[in-house]
Amino acid sequence: MAVLSNLLNPKLTIFFVAFLPQFVRPDEPDQVARMLGLGAVFMLLTFVVFGAYGLLAGAVRDRVLARPAVTRWLRRGFAGSFVALGLLLARAES
């Protein structure tokens, strides 16, 4: 579902159409191949970075869940922030 959502997201297409052409010369013989190559490099780097984020998030999750006190304080912090945001929203609406 996430892959389909990303494939149907127009932001990435707009990014490639707006950003990558500046790195392809108009007189270059095979502009399509150059654009595809740049797109492949971008996708490879994105995969590596997101993979690293995933591994790091997994390691942090394991450490947090191993300490119930940390989990308790995180829940309290999130609850407090939601209460504060709700109060700000209520104040802005009145």
Which pLDDT tens digit goes with each residue over 48-69?
999 999 999 999 999 998 999 9
Q: How many domains does the chain have?
A: 1
CB atoms within 10 A of CB 4: 8
Residues 47, 39 contacting (CB under 8 angstroms) = no
Whether pTM exceeds 0.75? no
77 lies in which domain range? 2-93
Mean pLDDT calculated for residue range 74-85: 96
Please report how the helices 68-93 and 31-65 are oriented relative to each other, as an axis angle in degrees rounded to 10: 110
Residue 94 confidence (pLDDT): 62
> What percentage of residues in the chain have a pLDDT greater than 90?
46
Q: Is the pLDDT of residue 93 over 90?
A: no
Residue 6: what pLDDT? Answer: 75
